[in-house]
Chain A
Amino acid sequence: MKWIGAALLAALLLLLPSFAGDFYINLASQILIAAIFALSLNLLVGYGGMTSLGHASYLGVAAYISALLTSRYGLGHGPAAIISIAGTTAMAALFGVIALRATGLGFLMITLALSQVLWGLAYRMSGVTNGDNGVAGLTRPMPFGISLDSAASFYWFALLVTTIAFLMMAIFVSSSFGSSLKGVRDQPRRMAALGFNPWMIRWITFVYAGFWGGVSGLLYVYYNKYIHPTSLSTTSSAEALLGVIAGGSGTLGGPVVGAALVLLLKNYASAYVERWNMLLGLVFLFIVLVLPAGIVPGLGKFLRRGSR
């Protein structure tokens, strides 16, 4: 039953461009990018118990590095992507050392502060980042000579990357290390007494989450062919956090569903309702009240109850 569902979903995702128009294909690509981003944040929030309000830093910095290297310094997409991901991961390693001096609210505040610094830099260092105008006129890469300029080809590319990201993160959380991480989330003191190093476990997870945040940033800039300081803003971090919590933190499906929900409301509902943020707020309120654990765990519970 489970396998049939998975096969149907896979077929639907693969064949989407054959029956959907460009608007929906592009929307699907954006959802995939947001899903990687939310999944990486979920490693911190859901599996690590580290609520971050600065995860946009990794998306934004990876996007900016790639944008600047390809447009201003004429680097190819291959080396630019490698430098971008390596740089973002190194930044996560450094930010992790700073933010993990605290836990809980302190951790949240430090991640928020660090991301605000980057956002401010992107705005003010206009000599480098072009400030409020953003960096425009970017191109998409051509992996193995395949152009990604059409909506469908980019979608398939994004689907491939998302599948790899999803599997890699699924393996990560179900590994021995993932068990250690969940243990540190639930009972850090006990875990330390058992011989686990809580700080190191959190830090490694922080860096890994930064890495995948960077990957989503690369896709983000490839898709938009444009980057603006707002991608580094707190709103960007908060939207992802909202998606993770609404979908169900600490689950693998939750962030994907949550990210899709936020993007659908943002892109689809905003065409009909001007104050789509209000709608998002109401939907979020509804979820928190009715399905406090999130959509995926909440619906799972309903289905199990129904099948009895």
Chain B
Amino acid sequence: MTPTSKYALEVIDLKKAFGGLVVTQSISLAIRPGERRLIIGPNGAGKTTLFNQVSGDMRPNSGHIKLFGTDVTQLAPYQRAHLGLSRTYQIITLFFSDTLEHNVTLGLLGLRPSRWQMWRPMSFYGDLATEARRTLDTVGLLHLAEHPVSDIAYGEKRRVELAMALAQKPRVLLLDEPLAGLSDTERSQVKSLIASIPRETTVIMIEHDMDTALDLAETVTLLNYGRVIVDGERDAVIADERTREVYLGV
């Protein structure tokens, strides 16, 4: 049995340094199931580094990370994925020569035992393709399902990033700047997409576009120099003087 916890994700006194450069001084977070948390902070505040440690791409020097009460600090990224963690990347990380459908199907395959299957092709599992196309439909890209990722526009790639993560029906979803580089139209598309993510999924998002991101968030964490500066309900954090000082610059 996995231990139960009232938090979906807990980060406890996390520390990470690259040589002499301390990128995570001490970060503690507690995020409830179903919460929409926005993480903000100036460039170099350690936001992506925090995500990398939560997803397991980087190991912290000290501290703990718990997913639904299970300590995952020592687990590999793929083991965390099987516990319901999923993420997107700030820099688009897709399989460029493969079709959109193949990309999303890989997301589905990753959590299924059939990923070890050595004599049957992926296409044997028809439900994978059906599921992948359904997810592509929710992000409005079904008509491009047969195209390779390299053929589609930047904004569409952002949505494939999202589709790959959403297809996994994660319990905790980390979104690293899902709106970066998008046009206004695309921005509102992705915004409603994120808004429509079911409540079973806890969403933690790094985003600079405050106008859009604040509408999606319930709680906000402000990071600076690898520390939590302010943490709490959205309006309280925005009204806080330190937020203005560090981030909003007014």
A interface vs B, CB < 8 Å? 171-172, 174-180, 182-183, 186-187, 189-198
Contact = CB atoms under 8 A, between A and B. Distances in A.
B76 A174 contact: no
A190 B120 contact: no
A194 B80 CA distance: 9
B55 A172 contact: no
A192 B118 CA distance: 19
A180 B111 CA distance: 12
Contacts of B93: 187, 189-190
A190 B109 CA distance: 13
Contact of B115 (A171, A190, A193, A196): A196
Contacts of A191: 78, 106, 110
Contacts of B61: none
Interface residues of B, number: 35
Given A193-B57, A195-B168, 4 more contacts: A179-B122, A183-B95, A189-B57, A195-B115
A177 B117 contact: yes
A277 B117 CA distance: 42
Interface stretch (B81-89, B199-207, B241-249): B81-89
Interface of B: 55-57, 76-78, 81-82, 86-87, 89, 93-97, 102, 106-107, 109-111, 114-122, 124-125, 164, 168
A179 B96 CA distance: 14
Contacts of A187: 93-95
Contacts of B97: 186
Contacts of A176: 109, 114-118, 120-122, 124-125
A258 B118 CA distance: 26
Residues of A contacting B: mostly: helix
Contacts of B56: 192
Contacts of A194: 78, 81, 86, 106-107, 109-111, 164, 168
A190 B87 CA distance: 9
B95 A180 contact: no
Contact of A175 (B87, B117, B168): B117
26 contacts: A172-B118, A174-B121, A175-B122, A176-B118, A176-B120, A176-B124, A177-B115, A177-B118, A178-B121, A179-B102, A179-B121, A180-B115, A182-B95, A183-B95, A186-B97, A187-B95, A189-B77, A189-B93, A191-B110, A192-B57, A194-B81, A194-B86, A194-B107, A194-B164, A195-B82, A196-B110
B106 A183 contact: yes
Contacts of A198: 78
Contacts of B77: 189, 192-193
Q: Which 10 A-B pairs have the closest CB atoms?
A: A195-B110, A194-B110, A195-B81, A192-B77, A176-B117, A190-B93, A177-B118, A195-B111, A197-B78, A176-B122
